[in-house]
């Protein structure tokens, strides 16, 4: 599988070294706790998928819509693979082994075979995961699993072949696409693909076809469009295998997919392409990115300086004092260094608004409209807050390598904490509030619940971001690229998610309970009108949640004041 015997030995030595490194990280009791939690979460979830009662519920859409969704997902995955190949042009090998491998008496084909083997081993978990997910929605679970597994094992071969071709055409086609916003395109496609997976596989009962008019709507028209079918033709064989309803339909397409994998694998291995010079440059660039991640830098804010910045950036919306300067610095970094990330966030929120259009079924009555407004507003607020606050790190999580400068800023720690997280909170709250209002305008109706969501959205986003940063300052973690899905990191994320949920519920209870008592007292005791009592109750509830956020700012300031830069860097 790995070609040369020396390369097989290298693979096993790297595997043993990785296991020893993970064992060293588990010396602390907290690491073991996170590991067990992550392992239990993964195994329990897989067991639920395999042994659950509803392993393969009936698809929410017709056969044509199901096939369109699968083919479209495969097409997006293929595009992601092709665009991702631009970041690893040539044959990528880690910096500490590439020069030795290139200078050793080993054939180029053996090196390519070794790289493909390691990529396929890394893809096993993703292939199993997506296979189980597909089994839940496909007509025949076994066929859906096998077809999806084959696709996930074919993707690395396609990606490696594209990377080698880009290395050969570096002075031709590579130059034409070098200035294209490939990372932005990849980010948009990846985010849309991930969100679609969440909606289709995790949101039980979510009817995609109902969101756009059912079998006579927009998606049904796309499924019948000959141009769309022609565009999806390259991935149609794999899609037919995944959506097959009988063995007679599945076996020919699956056999064709296996044959295509063998042919592609041998073509990539035996390609006569001199990739060495470009591979050295790619390896150096990736090593630089990994080094920055280990130091705590954020890829979105790469190169964002904490020193003097040219004028003409973000507005000084919090004044020109020390507090306003910190907020201005974060806002300017967001706008100058992470425009692609911000644009991806806007597109994702727009996609959620589009997919939530049909929540509540057909809007034939006022009650249907009311339910749709409430469900859609909650969906946008919850999913949007979770996605944006977890993905955007324009705060201390992206400033870890600059903490020696942050700690000497002439301002109280709680003020530094507040000024640092405010720009991100303003962006998230403003974007989600605009999305909620845009959906209401799209439907052509309004409900007071929409105004309540917009009113509380900034406080909810602030609670989420403040809690994440306070915990991060207490126990900073540097996620090296490729290790975000390690079991101990999954366990840590699970604990943080539970803690975040408890704090959010506590903040809501702290604010909503006095608001509820105020509403009951004004309307049922003092005889005030329902509108006046509701407005007063919401105002009291809003002030209560604001008080909780103030407590989180104080806690975050304490964590920042206790942050030891020397201990964090191992000095």
Q: Could you tell me if 435 and 350 are in contact, meaning their C-beta atoms sit under 8 angstroms apart? A: yes
Sign of torsion over alpha carbons 470, 473, 476, 480: positive
The pLDDT score that the predictor gives to residue 286 is 73
Tell me the backbone φ, ψ of residue 399, rounded to 5 degrees.
-120, 20
Distance CA 83, CA 102 (A): 26
- pLDDT at residue 538, as a whole number: 83
- In this prediction, the residues of the chain whose per-residue pLDDT falls under 50 are 53-60, 171, 202-214, 298-311, 481-485, 570-571
Distance between CA atoms of 507 and 460, rounded to whole angstroms? 9
- Report yes or no: 443 and 418 within 8 Å, Cβ to Cβ: no
pLDDT number for residue 462:
92
Q: How far, in Å, CA of 157 to CA of 128, rounded? A: 17
pLDDT in tens, 436-489: 888 888 877 777 888 888 999 999 899 889 988 888 888 776 655 444 445 556
Helix axes 448-474 and 487-520, enclosed angle (nearest 10): 140
Indicate the pTM of the whole model: 0.65
Closest CA to 371 of 387, 381, 356: 356
The whole-number pLDDT of residue 195 equals 57
pLDDT at 337: 65
> Which residues lie closer than 8 Å to 373 by C-beta, 6 or more apart?
439, 440, 443, 445, 446, 447, 449, 450
């Amino acid at each position: 599988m790995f070609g040369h015997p020396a390369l097989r030995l290298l693979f096993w030595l790297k595997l043993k070294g990785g296991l020893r490194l993970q064992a060293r990280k588990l010396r602390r009791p907290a690491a073991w706790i996170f590991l067990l939690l992550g392992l239990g979460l993964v195994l329990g979830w897989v067991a639920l998928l395999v042994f659950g009662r509803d392993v393969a519920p009936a698809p929410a859409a017709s056969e044509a819509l199901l096939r369109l969704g699968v083919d479209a997902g495969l097409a997006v995955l293929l595009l992601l693979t092709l665009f991702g190949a631009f970041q690893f042009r040539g044959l990528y090998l880690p910096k500490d082994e590439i020069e030795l491998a290139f200078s050793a008496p080993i054939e180029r084909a053996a090196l390519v075979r070794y790289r493909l083997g390691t990529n396929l081993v890394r893809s096993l978990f993703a292939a199993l995961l997506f296979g189980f997910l597909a089994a839940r929605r496909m007509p025949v679970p076994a066929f859906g699993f096998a077809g999806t597994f084959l696709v996930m094992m074919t993707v690395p071969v396609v990606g490696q072949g594209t990377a080698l071709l880009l290395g050969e055409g570096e002075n031709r086609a590579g130059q034409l696409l070098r200035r294209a916003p490939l990372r932005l395109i990849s980010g948009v496609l990846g985010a849309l693909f991930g969100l679609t997976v969440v909606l289709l596989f995790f949101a039980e009962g979510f009817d995609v076809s109902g969101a756009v008019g059912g079998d006579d709507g927009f998606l049904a028209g796309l499924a019948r469009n000959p141009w769309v079918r022609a565009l999806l033709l390259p991935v149609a064989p794999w899609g037919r295998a995944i959506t097959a309803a009988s063995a007679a339909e599945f076996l020919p397409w699956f056999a064709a997919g296996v044959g295509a994998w063998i042919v592609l694998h041998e073509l990539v291995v035996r390609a006569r392409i001199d990739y060495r010079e470009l591979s050295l440059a790619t390896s150096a660039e990736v090593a630089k990115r990994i080094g920055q991640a280990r130091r705590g830098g954020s890829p979105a804010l790469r190169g964002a300086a904490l020193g003097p910045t040219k004028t003409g950036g973000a507005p000084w919306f919090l004044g020109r004092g020390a507090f306003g300067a910190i907020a201005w610095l974060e806002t300017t970094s967001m706008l100058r260094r992470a425009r692609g990330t911000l644009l991806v966030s806007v597109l994702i929120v727009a996609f959620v608004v589009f997919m939530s259009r049909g929540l509540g079924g057909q809007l034939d009555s006022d009650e249907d409209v009311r339910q749709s407004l409430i469900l859609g507003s909650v969906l946008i607020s919850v999913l949007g807050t979770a996605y944006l606050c977890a993905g955007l790190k324009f705060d201390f999580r992206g400033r870890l390598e600059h903490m020696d400068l942050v700690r000497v800023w002439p301002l109280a720690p709680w003020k530094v904490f507040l000024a640092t997280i405010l720009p991100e909170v303003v962006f998230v709250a403003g974007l989600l509030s605009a999305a909620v209002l845009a959906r209401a305008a799209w439907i052509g109706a309004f409900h007071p619940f929409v105004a309540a969501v917009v009113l509380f959205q900034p406080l909810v986003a602030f609670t989420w971001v403040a809690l994440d940063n306070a915990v991060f300052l207490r126990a900073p973690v540097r996620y090296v690229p490729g290790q975000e899905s390690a079991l101990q990191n999954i366990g840590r994320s699970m604990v943080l998610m539970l803690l975040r949920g408890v704090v959010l519920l506590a903040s809501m209870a702290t604010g909503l309970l006095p608001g509820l008592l105020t509403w009951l007292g004004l309307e049922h005791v003092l005889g005030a009108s329902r509108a006046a009592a509701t407005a007063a109750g919401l105002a009291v509830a809003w002030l209560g949640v604001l008080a909780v956020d103030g407590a989180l700012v104080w806690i975050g300031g304490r964590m920042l004041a206790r942050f030891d830069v020397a201990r964090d860097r191992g000095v």
